[in-house]
């Protein structure tokens, strides 16, 4: 495929960091017009990658909607604090889906191997334009994740 005579580049991925987010027990709002609404408050965590490290700040949440088929639409907003003092705001949208029996195990709080389900997100970032992390403001970032009983582990990748 070409665009004005030039080959369109195949996207590549560059690992930017891994994050472990600690969670409270889900608050079940109940069945709404969109599905079953769950609010999962974020109470902390940590992250690290090449040239970046810090902690997950308490106060964010994952505002999930669980569809009739059990697929969870994920919408999380939270903030990071780098070791060198910068705040980074994250808005992360995606989904988690699997066969019903796997989703039932996840719902019970079991640690299910990540290979048994599909959990992917797309993230946007807001960070001080004068910081060395300002490149996050202009990056397309995706993640793959794993749900644990009281945490979520995500690996974030910049699309090159």
Length of the chain: 160
For the chain, the distance separating the N- and C-terminal CA atoms, rounded to the nearest angstrom, is: 18
Taking residues 71-81, report their average pLDDT.
Answer: 98
Where are the domains positioned within the chain?
12-159
SS3 of the chain: helix, strand, coil, percent, to 5: 10, 60, 30
Domain 12-159 has CATH 2.40.160.20: yes
pLDDT at site 4: 62
Strands 151-159 and 13-23, by their bridges, are antiparallel
pLDDT at site 71: 95
Taking residues 24-31, report their average pLDDT.
Answer: 95
Taking residues 33-49, report their average pLDDT.
Answer: 97
For residue 21, give every residue at least 6 positions away whose Cβ sits within 8 Å of its Cβ, in sequence order, or none.
42, 44, 45, 56, 76, 78, 151, 152, 153, 154
Of 6-15, 55-64, 69-78, give the lowest mean pLDDT range. Answer: 6-15
Dihedral (CA of 137, 135, 140, 71) sign: negative
pLDDT at site 6: 75
pLDDT at site 19: 99
pLDDT confidence tier of residue 67, bands split at 50, 70 and 90: very high
Backbone dihedral angles phi then psi of residue 134, each to the nearest 5 degrees: -60, -25
pLDDT at site 5: 61
pLDDT at site 125: 99
* Nearest CA among 103, 97, 96 for reference residue 152: 96
Q: What is the pTM of this model?
A: 0.91
**Six-digit token pair at 77?**
């907003």
């Amino acid at each position: 495929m070409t665009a004005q005579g030039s080959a369109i580049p195949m996207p590549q991925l560059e690992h930017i960091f891994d994050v472990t987010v600690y969670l409270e027990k889900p608050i079940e709002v109940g069945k709404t017009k969109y599905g079953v609404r769950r609010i999962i408050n974020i109470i902390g965590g940590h992250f690290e990658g090449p040239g970046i490290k810090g902690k997950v700040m308490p106060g964010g949440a994952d505002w999930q909607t669980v569809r009739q088929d059990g697929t969870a639409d994920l919408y999380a907003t939270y903030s990071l604090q780098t070791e060198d003092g910068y705040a980074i705001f994250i808005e992360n949208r995606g989904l988690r889906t699997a066969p019903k029996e796997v989703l039932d195990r996840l719902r019970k709080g079991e640690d299910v191997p990540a290979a048994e389900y599909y959990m992917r997100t797309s993230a946007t970032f807001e960070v001080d334009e004068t910081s060395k992390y300002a490149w996050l403001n202009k990056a397309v970032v995706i993640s793959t994740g794993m749900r644990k009983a009281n945490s979520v582990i995500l690996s974030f990748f910049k699309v090159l």
